[in-house]
Chain A
Amino acid sequence: MTTQPVPDRETSGQMTPSAAAAGTRLDPWLGSYADRTHGMRASEIRALFAVANRPEVVSLAGGMPFLEGLPLEELAALASHVVATRGLTSLQYGSGQGDETLREQILDVMALEGIRAHADDVVVTTGSQQGLDLVTRIFVNPGDVVVAEAPSYVGALGVFRAYQADVVHVPIDADGLVPEALDETLTQLAAAGRTVKLLYTVPNFHNPAGVSLSAARRPRVLEIARRHGVLVVEDNPYGLLGFDAPPRDALRALEEDGVVYLGSFSKTFAPGYRVGWVVAPHAVREKLVLASESAILCPSNASQLAISAYLQTFDWRGQVKSYGEQYRERRDAMISALSEYLPSASWNVPEGGFYTWVRLPDGLDSRDMLPRAVTARVAYVPGTAFYYDGAGSDHLRLSFCYPTPERIREGVRRLAGVVSGERELVDLFGTGGVAGGGDVQAPSPDLS
């Protein structure tokens, strides 16, 4: 099925002698784009998100941290102090690998998750997103396979797509990545002659699924990856944002040589600085620095020095704890609203992070339903955004990080109305179970 009548020039009989006149595709460079650009498409899904940042809409779509808890005046004074006292460094180019003091401080942050490393092993990046881009750039050729959880962080899938990788998903359950399934997938891929370069995983408070890889499974996953010769990319923006239990040991804490670790200040402090980091084995780190220098010369000194001063002078551990308490309150509001308003769906109860992964009642398609949700003034991200292969239409991601608990309740109440409207429609036309076409499309992260 396609949309709109397609002109049929062969049968139109309208062509006049001037028919040879050239048309325009409004882009004189159309023939010049690289192969990797051709997969990029405009999406009505992305356009629908344009309304999500209007105050009338309860957005359960974006992943924006709740910054109102930050001491803004003190941070302003700190930023001012940094420029006044270290302005000639702060506003200058800096090291491609990142500020040395900050790299030392990052070791303290990672120590909370059992990671022992040297400041030389750390590469500061423009958000961990750039770290992921660099890792993919130095390892992945077009057609190489990246193995990732099903579902997987949409921003990572976008990077893999940009480098023309194939993503093969591996199932997860309440304890995260399923080791047996991982082993089987890697065995099958090897048998099929495929080159698997990376295992991409978000082991803590997964985006979008909300689950964490159990402590028992961590060594098993590492062993399987090692046995298959696959480098593990551990993406860990949420690890410190657990609600109850202390942080688990990172995969990088258990193994140094087979893991590239991605860390970030975006969720534990503030994403506006765009500061993340990579910890990699020595030889990999060398290549990452070279790749980063060719991409951006150096990460922002202004951001790095501001964060360094923050880590030095503020009770950042207290701030992380306070974030966790706020997010727990919001999680509770989300879960109780789901129980009250959407008992026909199912969901997990995340023990940290930003997201709940909701399974819709049978037959409903989260992508088809989104326009109806926008009309009802509530936004979410359809599950299809988190799969490379169009799966996921039976799920949606709800984030509880940004709206107040009252707004979260209201948002879920509206969503319940949307679900029942869609339910009626699907029952009327008997279309349940027809999977919608999926693609890698999600809102930009600033949609509160």
Chain B
Amino acid sequence: MLAGGLSHERDVSLRSGRRVADALRAVGVEVTVHDVDADLVTALSELRPDVVWPLLHGATGEDGSVRDVVELLGLRLVGSDARASRVAWSKPVAKTLLAASGIRTPEFVTLPQALFRELDAPAVLAALVDRLGLPLVVKPERGGSALGVSLVEVAEDLPRAMVECFAYGDTALVERAVRGTEVAVSVVDTGSGPVALPAVEVVVDGPYDFDARYNPGRVEYFTPARLSATASADAADVAVRAHALLRLSGLSRTDLVVDADGVPWFLEVNVAPGMTETSLFPQAAEAAALNLGELYRDVVSAAWRGAPVSLR
């Protein structure tokens, strides 16, 4: 189990890693938790684990690079391979690919900080508001846990949202904010194809920010989400298709907004969904009456049965 790393989400990753490790140990799986540090390659080479589960959030944990190293060592990965992670990790790339396959996703633009250096920043922002309207969501192109994410209701707030976003990364994704029911659909594949778990609906007092995500109390979760049967099936279908189209493996979590007409809008997909005590994936699994330890073990077993990833 790889947990920690040097990303902004180190703390969340450490908590996720401990939770999953405990659940696996409870069902008889031998687990060693290791940080991503200078000793990692040596440790993996010596230990030669049956499988490596990178439960890393943010940066090298999700962008595929740590997964590349695991593959380089000829070890089996739990979850998606490096190539698929790299694609899913970039929100604009994932959105573009899925939109091409007919999945609805809010209209967006991707803006590197360097662009603003060359162009007149206020003019670019004004054009942005003209084109996409308000409200807008500004978020780092990569990353999770709502870090650097803002909902912009009035144009005057946009510059500050850009500054907050660029503190976390050098490229911003600005998309039209879709109003509706916010749901997360977790997908698991234990060897017989991807299956959606019940959607978790997130209702929050104020913003669904870092505090709301990790400090119980401000968010009310409804599992299954309070959607019509059709909307529920459509949301599950989008999550499973996203998982398949992006060639993800093992497990993923797709975040969606279901609008007033029941249409699910794809926001982003996570190849290493959070597994803390307040995270959405474990809630979905429990709502499906699945034992977490057994579910994680089945995911691990499926990874172990698969061939070690071949280097490309």
A residues touching B (Cβ–Cβ < 8 Å)?
1-9, 11-16, 18-19, 21, 23-27, 30, 40-44, 46-48, 50-51, 54, 56-57, 368-372, 374-375, 377, 422, 424-426, 428-431, 434
Q: Are B208 and A30 in contact (CB under 8 A)?
A: no
Q: Are B209 and A14 in contact (CB under 8 A)?
A: no
Q: Are B258 and A14 in contact (CB under 8 A)?
A: yes
Residues of B within 8 A of A30 (CB): 216-217
Residues of B within 8 A of A12 (CB): 179-181, 258-260
B132 is an interface residue with CB less than 8 A from chain A: no
Pairs A–B under 8 Å by Cβ, sample size 5: A7-B202, A12-B259, A16-B229, A375-B8, A429-B121
B178 is an interface residue with CB less than 8 A from chain A: yes
Residues of A within 8 A of B277 (CB): 26
Q: Are B150 and A42 in contact (CB under 8 A)?
A: no
Q: Would A42 and B214 be within 8 Å (CB), given that A1-B150, A50-B10 are in contact?
A: yes
In chain B, what residue has the closest Cβ to A427? B121
Question: Binary interface profile of B, 205-225, with partner A (CB < 8 Å = 1, else 0)?
Answer: 011111101111111111100
Q: Are A51 and B6 in contact (CB under 8 A)?
A: yes
Besides A5-B178, A23-B221, 18 more A-B contacts (Cβ < 8 Å) are A1-B151, A3-B209, A5-B151, A5-B177, A5-B182, A7-B180, A8-B180, A11-B179, A14-B231, A14-B258, A14-B260, A16-B228, A25-B217, A27-B217, A42-B210, A54-B10, A372-B168, A377-B6
B113 is an interface residue with CB less than 8 A from chain A: yes
Residues of A within 8 A of B222 (CB): 21, 23-24
Q: Of B12, B135, B278, which one neighbours A47 at CB under 8 angstroms?
A: B12
Task: Tell me the minimal C-beta distance from B292 to chain A in angstroms.
Answer: 15
Residues of A within 8 A of B12 (CB): 47
B28 is an interface residue with CB less than 8 A from chain A: no
Residues of A within 8 A of B146 (CB): 3-4
Among B135, B180, B220, B221, the most chain A Cβ lie within 10 Å of the Cβ of B180
In chain B, what residue has the closest Cβ to A422? B167
Cα A40 to Cα B159 with chains together (Å): 29
Cα A54 to Cα B277 with chains together (Å): 24
Number of A-B contacts (CB under 8 A): 191
B157 is an interface residue with CB less than 8 A from chain A: yes
Q: Are A47 and B179 in contact (CB under 8 A)?
A: no
Residues of B within 8 A of A431 (CB): 159-160, 163
B262 is an interface residue with CB less than 8 A from chain A: yes
Task: Tell me the minimal C-beta distance from A50 to chain B in angstroms.
Answer: 4
Residues of B within 8 A of A24 (CB): 220-223
Residues of A within 8 A of B216 (CB): 25-27, 30
B11 is an interface residue with CB less than 8 A from chain A: yes
Question: Binary interface profile of B, 162-203, with partner A (CB < 8 Å = 1, else 0)?
Answer: 111011100000000111111000000000000000000111
Residues of A within 8 A of B261 (CB): 13
Q: Are B117 and A7 in contact (CB under 8 A)?
A: no
Q: Would A3 and B208 be within 8 Å (CB), given that A8-B179, A54-B37, A430-B122 are in contact?
A: yes
Q: Are A429 and B163 in contact (CB under 8 A)?
A: yes
Q: Are B152 and A54 in contact (CB under 8 A)?
A: no
Cα A434 to Cα B156 with chains together (Å): 12
Residues of B within 8 A of A40 (CB): 215
Cα A92 to Cα B130 with chains together (Å): 73
Task: Tell me the minimal C-beta distance from A159 to chain B in angstroms.
Answer: 20
Cα A26 to Cα B208 with chains together (Å): 15
Cα A8 to Cα B177 with chains together (Å): 12
B residues touching A (Cβ–Cβ < 8 Å)?
6-12, 14, 37, 113, 116-117, 121-122, 125, 135, 137, 145-153, 157, 159-164, 166-168, 177-182, 201-204, 206-211, 213-223, 226-229, 231, 257-262, 277-278
In chain B, what residue has the closest Cβ to A22? B222
Cα A23 to Cα B222 with chains together (Å): 4
Q: Would A2 and B181 be within 8 Å (CB), given that A24-B220, A47-B11, A428-B116 are in contact?
A: no
Q: Of A1, A18, A47, A434, which one neighbours B226 at CB under 8 angstroms?
A: A18
The 10 closest A-B pairs by CB, nearest first: A50-B11, A42-B215, A429-B159, A2-B207, A23-B220, A3-B207, A27-B216, A44-B210, A26-B216, A23-B222
Q: Are A368 and B164 in contact (CB under 8 A)?
A: yes
Q: Are A2 and B219 in contact (CB under 8 A)?
A: no
Task: Tell me the minimal C-beta distance from A130 to chain B in angstroms.
Answer: 25
Among A13, A15, A424, the most chain B Cβ lie within 10 Å of the Cβ of A13
Q: Would A4 and B207 be within 8 Å (CB), given that A21-B226, A26-B221, A426-B163 are in contact?
A: yes
Q: Are B11 and A368 in contact (CB under 8 A)?
A: no
Q: Of A5, A15, A368, A424, which one neighbours B257 at CB under 8 angstroms?
A: A5
Q: Are A44 and B147 in contact (CB under 8 A)?
A: yes
Q: Of B160, B182, B210, B229, which one neighbours A7 at CB under 8 angstroms?
A: B182
Q: Of B121, B151, B178, B220, which one neighbours A25 at CB under 8 angstroms?
A: B220
Cα A10 to Cα B226 with chains together (Å): 13
Q: Are A41 and B215 in contact (CB under 8 A)?
A: yes
Task: Tell me the minimal C-beta distance from B165 to chain A in angstroms.
Answer: 10
Cα A21 to Cα B234 with chains together (Å): 21
Task: Tell me the minimal C-beta distance from A128 to chain B in angstroms.
Answer: 28
Q: Would A429 and B203 be within 8 Å (CB), given that A25-B219, A26-B216 are in contact?
A: no
Residues of B within 8 A of A434 (CB): 160
Q: Are B137 and A4 in contact (CB under 8 A)?
A: yes
Task: Tell me the minimal C-beta distance from B177 to chain A in angstroms.
Answer: 5
Q: Would A4 and B149 be within 8 Å (CB), given that A43-B211, A51-B6, A371-B8 are in contact?
A: yes
